[in-house]
Each structure stands twice: as structure tokens, then as C-alpha cells.
């Protein structure tokens, strides 16, 4: 796909470094999760929201009604790798602004896309159960993180993302796939209080970054509007494929890094370096 002619102010923001503070970098280093206010301007969100919404509708049109889905299915409408379908999304998700902040937080000299993912939690949509993303990822290090980007402000009643801060050190629960069991078992562990849960609304333009082993969840969407979120998963450019330890990791390797063998760099055409 050829680069897209984005509006001037949108392009300027995508090319501009986000000024990470020493406190934000220290927080991510300690807790492996951090919120970044005013990451995107209103112009950026106004431009990309209808683009993402279009593709979510198109790519999830065959999903059954909310009442017919299981606990995980009720969490959101989920669409993957929008950047492959639309050059505008590609320019956004592979932008210098994202590259620079992910390199700083992951402390590496280059980052690649693992995949992107739109997560639209419908009105009445259920919980996103407690889980750790890296359970699904056949990656040989923890230098990988999700950039969680709401396309609007997310008040508490819409189900913003919650993090158990510092829970990346916890190995208990890592073997659980997302669902009712992970919600109950990991939730009980978090209530002990060793890992304070960050439960806050997101302001307009605010994003968060959390690494693969941080446990997180989201509450139901109790509002009358869709909670619209775009995410990108980014990894150290030197990341290699690890031996899959479950069926999900085997499927992920084939889907998100086709042709990459265990031990090789994850540098398939679906894993461009930013």
C-alpha cells in the first residue's frame, strides 16, 4: 500500500515525539504498565475513529448476537490487523510517534508490529476477565507490550482497562486462558492486595501501555454507547519465536508471523519494523 495523504495536523502528530517523563519511564520499569495523558490530539481521534469503526463493522459482521456469546465473546467485538486492510491505519499504527515511545519504554533500539486489534465493547457488553496477554504469545522475551488507545474518553461506566500494577512478577495464573476461570482465580489472587489495581477512567487522547505478563481486566460497559478502543502490540525488533507451550501459541505463530520457525526472528511480512 502506498502512504496515505493524511490531514496536515494529523500527520504532524503522528511524526512528533511524545515527551515521556522520567517518572513515566520509571513507573513502567517498576510496574510494567503506565498511562500516558494527551498522547493523541482530538484531530487524530476524529480522523481515525470512523475508519476503525468501519473496519470493525465489516470484519465482525458475522458475529452472533451478544446474548448468544460466551463470557469472552461478550467482552467485545474484536477485529485484527486493520493495518493490512487500510493504508490510513497502517500509517497510524506504524507511525514514528508510536515507534519512539515503545522503544523508550521497552528499552530497545527498534520495534516491530506483532499485530493490531480493535476492541469494541458494546452497550451491555460483559467483563473482560483477568488475564495476561503473553499466555497467547510464542515470544522468547518479555520485551513486548500493548498500546491501548481509546478513540474517545472512557468514563468508569464504560469499562476502562484496569491493571494489577507490578503483577508481571507473578507466575501463578500465567497458565490460564481468558474466561470465567481466569476471572475467578486471578481475581481472588489480586484481592489479597500484593498488586494494587489501577482503576481509573481515561481522558480524551489518553492511552496506556502494558507489557505481556501484566494481569489486567475491564468491567462491563454499563453505558448506552459503544466503548471504542484500538490497540497495537509491539515487540523488540530482535524478538525471536519461542517453542509454543499451548495450542493458542501455536495458532498465534502461524497467524501473526507466518513462515517464522521456532528460534527465528519474527520478521515476517506481517511483522514490519516501525
Question: What's the pLDDT band for 132 if we cut at 50, 70, 90?
Answer: confident
CA atoms within 13 A on the CB side of 64: 7
Question: What is the per-residue pLDDT for 83?
Answer: 98
Q: What is the arithmetic mean of pLDDT over 132-147?
A: 94
pLDDT greater at residue 236 or residue 77? 236
Question: What residues contact residue 155 under an 8 Å CB cut-off, 6+ apart?
Answer: 201, 223
Question: What's the pLDDT band for 188 if we cut at 50, 70, 90?
Answer: low
Q: What is the arithmetic mean of pLDDT over 17-43?
A: 97
| Distance between CA atoms of residues 25 and 141, nearest Å | 19
Q: What is the arithmetic mean of pLDDT over 211-238?
A: 94
Domains and CATH numbers, the chain: 29-256 (2.60.120.620)
Question: What is the per-residue pLDDT for 164?
Answer: 86
Q: Pull the grid cell for residue 128.
A: 473482560
Q: Phi and psi of 211, rounded to 5°?
A: -80, 170
Question: What is the per-residue pLDDT for 225?
Answer: 96
DSSP code string of 66-114: GGGS-TTTTT-EEEE-HHHH-HHHHHHHT-HHHHHHHHHHHT-S-EEEE
Q: b/e string for 151-177 if b means 16 or more Cβ within 10 A?
A: bbebeeebbbbbbbbbbbebeebeebe
pLDDT greater at residue 204 or residue 133? 204
Question: What is the per-residue pLDDT for 219?
Answer: 87
Mean confidence (pLDDT) of the chain: 90
pLDDT greater at residue 183 or residue 11? 11
Task: Tell me the per-residue pLDDT of 98-112, one tens digit each, with 9 for 90 and over.
Answer: 999 999 999 999 999
Give, as one character, the DSSP assignment of residue 201.
-
Distances (CA, A) of 154 to 68, 88, 130, 147: 26, 24, 19, 15
Question: What's the pLDDT band for 22 if we cut at 50, 70, 90?
Answer: very high
Question: What is the per-residue pLDDT for 181?
Answer: 62
CB atoms within 10 A of CB 233: 20
What's the residue count for the chain?
A: 274
Least confident of 134-138, 185-189, 250-254: 185-189
Distance of CA 212 to the CA centre of its chain: 10
Question: What is the per-residue pLDDT for 193?
Answer: 63
pTM of the model: 0.92
Q: What is the arithmetic mean of pLDDT over 45-68?
A: 87
| Distance between CA atoms of residues 37 and 89, nearest Å | 21
Question: What is the per-residue pLDDT for 91?
Answer: 97
Question: What is the per-residue pLDDT for 260?
Answer: 98
Question: What is the per-residue pLDDT for 190?
Answer: 67
Question: What is the per-residue pLDDT for 64?
Answer: 61
In this predicted structure, the answer to whether residue 10 has a pLDDT above a threshold of 70 is yes
| Distance between CA atoms of residues 49 and 152, nearest Å | 8
Give, as one character, the DSSP assignment of residue 147.
E
pLDDT greater at residue 3 or residue 202? 202
Amino acid at each position: 500500500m502506498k502512504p496515505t495523504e493524511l490531514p496536515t495536523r494529523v500527520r504532524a502528530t503522528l511524526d512528533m515525539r511524545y515527551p515521556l517523563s522520567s517518572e513515566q519511564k520509571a513507573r513502567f520499569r517498576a510496574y510494567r504498565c503506565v498511562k500516558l495523558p494527551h498522547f493523541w490530539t482530538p484531530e487524530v481521534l476524529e480522523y481515525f475513529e470512523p475508519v476503525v469503526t468501519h473496519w470493525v463493522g465489516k470484519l465482525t459482521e458475522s458475529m452472533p448476537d451478544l446474548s448468544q456469546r460466551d463470557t469472552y465473546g461478550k467482552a467485545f467485538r474484536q477485529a485484527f490487523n486493520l493495518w493490512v486492510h487500510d493504508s490510513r491505519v497502517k500509517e497510524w499504527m506504524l507511525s514514528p510517534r508510536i515507534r519512539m515511545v515503545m522503544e523508550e519504554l521497552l528499552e530497545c533500539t527498534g520495534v516491530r508490529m506483532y499485530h493490531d486489534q480493535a476492541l469494541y465493547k458494546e452497550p451491555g457488553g460483559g467483563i473482560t476477565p483477568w488475564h495476561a496477554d503473553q499466555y497467547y504469545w510464542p515470544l522468547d522475551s518479555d520485551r513486548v507490550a500493548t498500546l491501548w488507545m481509546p478513540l474517545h474518553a472512557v468514563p468508569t461506566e464504560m469499562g476502562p482497562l484496569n491493571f494489577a500494577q507490578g503483577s508481571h512478577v507473578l507466575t501463578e495464573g500465567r497458565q490460564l486462558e481468558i474466561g470465567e476461570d481466569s476471572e475467578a482465580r486471578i481475581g481472588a489472587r489480586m484481592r489479597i492486595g500484593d498488586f494494587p489495581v489501577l482503576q481509573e477512567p481515561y481522558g480524551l487522547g489518553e492511552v496506556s501501555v502494558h507489557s505481556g505478563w501484566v494481569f489486567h481486566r475491564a468491567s462491563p460497559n454499563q453505558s448506552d454507547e459503544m466503548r471504542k478502543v484500538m490497540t497495537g502490540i509491539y515487540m523488540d525488533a530482535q524478538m525471536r519465536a519461542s517453542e509454543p507451550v499451548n495450542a493458542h501459541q501455536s495458532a498465534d505463530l502461524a497467524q501473526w508471523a507466518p513462515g517464522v520457525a521456532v528460534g527465528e526472528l519474527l520478521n515476517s511480512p506481517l511483522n514490519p519494523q516501525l
